[in-house]
């Protein structure tokens, strides 16, 4: 399988300062002609001009001819919690986890403008809730060792599973509902170590599949360090994984991996951790016999420590040129000396030969590009746009990006650490 090297490298070094990045109309037009991106992706006659909206935010820079950045929910000053996972229900009410406070909150629109404006605590006293999934009136909340089921119609909360591996080093967060199954990503217990397969630890570093009632649990993938997000894209299960901190100076070894569905439980794919990293490179720090040539290589290779934390497939009319793109929320590195990640990005394979990528937030005049897929292993994708803006002091860095969700209009909601909930509209 061709490996997509999605590296967030930068071409030039910049000092962090507060100077605005210059815009040029000519460069906008050249880029739009090159990518076929319209400056107005939908009829915005029902929306006020961006500069007149009361929710307009200048928290960080976005490309003004494409996006309007607004802050839907402002987090209270001094509040420690963060909205780490986002999911909409069938009525496009938005839910979010707040693991530090043990809560799930619901956001609603109280003034009928279709923009979320109010936060209410829905569930409390949960065990570090960090992941969310929704299907058919049921909200599934993934906590530390516990999977909760909340029935919206009856306002009923119950514990569905209470014996998942506990791990606050890498908090379990990846959860997905698809075709009457739940899929859960279970992290490894450590940054880089050998762990035995006794008792519950045989679930460590795996993707676990189960029925919606918690029964028929089956491991469908192994060899993962920190699976942070799951989604279905082009009829395949995509799984993010984050490289060991030990490899922070290596290039592009955060990953998105792929499993064909329905999963083959007779031949369980092993993605190599902790024995291998990247494109099946042997891990010299681990002394154990394992054939790295047998490991499944990543489908998409990402910048090391960019930490892909959430994925969502874009469907909507708000930005038609993003249709069917894979939105990626990059939490960013915990090492403040590494300005990598801290961004919202979109990628879309257009054919077997080309792939389009776009920087969404932060972004500047050069917000996207096209790359030739057959050359990926040699050239990689070098979308340094977000890092360039982050290094000017006008980006999201040093805040983290946690999650992303798209509403019925195609408006893009995403959460960042300490700042609350943002929305990007035309």
Which carries the bigger pLDDT value, residue 288 or residue 391? Answer: 391
pLDDT at 405 over 80: yes
Q: How confident is the model at residue 367 (pLDDT cuts 50, 70, 90)?
A: low
DSSP state letters, 164-182: SPP-SSS----EEEETTEE
**Nearest one of 166, 135, 131 to 148, comparing CA atoms:** 131
**Is the C-alpha dihedral spanning 40, 46, 52, 56 positive or negative?**
negative
Q: What is the pLDDT of residue 20?
A: 32
Q: What is the pTM of this model?
A: 0.86
| Mean pLDDT to the nearest integer, 140-163 | 97
**Over the range 325-351, which residues count as b (16 or more CB within 10 Å of their CB) and which as e?**
bbbbbbbbbeeeebbbbbbbbbbbbee
pLDDT at 123 over 80: yes
Quickly count: other Cβ atoms within 10 Å of residue 370's Cβ: 13
Whether the CB-CB separation of 413 and 422 falls below 8 Å is answered with: yes
Quickly count: other Cβ atoms within 10 Å of residue 106's Cβ: 18
Question: Model confidence over 207-261: pLDDT tens digits?
Answer: 999 999 999 999 999 999 999 999 999 889 999 999 988 777 777 888 899 999 9
Q: What is the pLDDT of residue 40?
A: 38
State the maximum Cα–Cα separation within the chain, in Å, rounded to a whole number: 63
Determine the Cα–Cα distance for residues 116 and 53; give it in Å rounded to an integer: 14
- Which residues, 6 or more positions from 38, have their beta carbon under 8 angstroms from its beta carbon? 32, 320, 321
Q: How confident is the model at residue 269 (pLDDT cuts 50, 70, 90)?
A: very high
Whether the CB-CB separation of 4 and 371 falls below 8 Å is answered with: no
pLDDT at 144 over 90: yes
Q: What is the pLDDT of residue 303?
A: 84
Whether the CB-CB separation of 4 and 300 falls below 8 Å is answered with: yes
Determine the Cα–Cα distance for residues 217 and 202; give it in Å rounded to an integer: 13
**Nearest one of 12, 31, 20, 13 to 61, comparing CA atoms:** 20
Q: How confident is the model at residue 81 (pLDDT cuts 50, 70, 90)?
A: low
Q: What is the pLDDT of residue 41?
A: 40
Cis omega before residue 269 (within 30°)?
A: no
- For residue 150, report the phi and psi dihedrals to the nearest 5 degrees: -120, 125
**Over the range 275-310, which residues count as b (16 or more CB within 10 Å of their CB) and which as e?**
bbbbbbeebeeeeeebebeebbbbbbbbbbbbbbbb
Q: What is the pLDDT of residue 267?
A: 86
Whether the CB-CB separation of 281 and 233 falls below 8 Å is answered with: no
**Nearest one of 239, 243, 252, 248 to 7, comparing CA atoms:** 252
DSSP state letters, 279-337: TTEE-TT--S---GGGSPPPSEEE-TT--EEEEEE--SSTTGGGTT-EEEEE---S-TT
Average per-residue pLDDT in the chain? 82
Whether the CB-CB separation of 306 and 330 falls below 8 Å is answered with: yes
Q: What is the pLDDT of residue 95?
A: 98
Question: Model confidence over 29-58: pLDDT tens digits?
Answer: 333 333 344 433 434 558 999 999 999 999
CA distances from 240 to 42, 196, 212 (A): 31, 23, 22
Q: What is the pLDDT of residue 77?
A: 64
| Mean pLDDT to the nearest integer, 389-418 | 94
Q: What is the pLDDT of residue 181?
A: 97
Please state, for a pLDDT cut of 90, what percent of the chain lies above it. 54
Residue 267, strand partner residues:
none
Q: How confident is the model at residue 275 (pLDDT cuts 50, 70, 90)?
A: confident
Question: Model confidence over 182-198: pLDDT tens digits?
Answer: 999 999 988 877 765 44
Which carries the bigger pLDDT value, residue 339 or residue 108? Answer: 108
CA distances from 53 to 50, 71, 112, 396, 422 (A): 6, 10, 15, 21, 14
| Mean pLDDT to the nearest integer, 136-158 | 97
Q: How confident is the model at residue 372 (pLDDT cuts 50, 70, 90)?
A: low
pLDDT at 161 over 50: yes
Q: What is the pLDDT of residue 230?
A: 98
């Amino acid at each position: 399988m061709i490996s997509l090297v999605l590296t967030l490298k930068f071409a030039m070094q910049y000092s962090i300062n507060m100077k605005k990045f210059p815009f040029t109309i000519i460069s906008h037009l050249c880029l739009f002609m090159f990518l076929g991106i319209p400056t107005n992706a939908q009829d915005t006659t029902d929306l006020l001009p961006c500069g007149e909206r009361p929710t307009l935010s200048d928290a960080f820079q976005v490309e003004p001819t494409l996006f309007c950045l607004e802050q839907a929910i402002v987090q209270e000053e001094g509040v420690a919690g963060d909205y780490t996972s986002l999911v909409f229900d069938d009525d496009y009410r938005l839910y979010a986890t707040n693991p530090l406070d043990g809560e799930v909150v619901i956001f609603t629109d109280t003034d009928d403008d279709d923009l979320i404006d109010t936060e209410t605590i829905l569930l409390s006293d949960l065990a570090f809730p960090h992941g969310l999934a929704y299907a058919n009136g049921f909200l599934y909340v993934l906590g530390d060792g516990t999977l909760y089921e909340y029935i919206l119609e009856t306002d009923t909360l119950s514990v569905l599973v209470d014996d998942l591996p506990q791990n606050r080093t890498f908090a379990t967060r990846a959860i997905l509902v698809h075709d009457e199954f739940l899929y859960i990503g279970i992290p490894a217990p450590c940054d880089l170590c050998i762990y035995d397969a006794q008792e519950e630890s045989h679930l460590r570093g795996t993707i676990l599949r189960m029925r919606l009632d918690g029964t028929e649990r089956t491991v469908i993938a192994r060899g993962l360090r920190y699976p942070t997000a799951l989604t279905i894209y082009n009829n395949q299960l995509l799984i993010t994984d984050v490289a060991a901190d030990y490899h922070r100076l290596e290039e592009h070894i955060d990953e998105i991996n792929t499993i064909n569905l329905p999963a083959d439980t007779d031949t369980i794919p092993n993605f190599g951790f902790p024995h291998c990293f990247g494109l099946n490179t042997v891990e010299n720090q681990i002394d154990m016999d394992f054939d790295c040539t047998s490991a499944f290589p990543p489908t998409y290779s990402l910048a090391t420590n960019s930490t892909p934390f959430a994925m969502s497939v874009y469907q909507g009319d708000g930005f038609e040129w993003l249709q069917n793109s894979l939105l990626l929320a990059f939490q960013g590195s915990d090492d403040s000396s590494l300005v990598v990640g801290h961004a919202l990005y979109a990628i879309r394979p257009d054919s077997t030969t080309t792939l389009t990528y776009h920087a969404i937030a932060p972004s500047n005049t050069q917000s996207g590009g096209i790359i030739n897929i057959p050359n990926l292993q040699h050239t990689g994708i070098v979308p340094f746009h977000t890092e360039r803006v982050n290094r000017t002091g006008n980006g999201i860095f040093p805040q983290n990006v946690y999650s992303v969700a798209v509403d019925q209009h195609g408006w893009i909601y995403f959460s960042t650490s300490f700042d609350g909930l943002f929305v990007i509209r035309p």
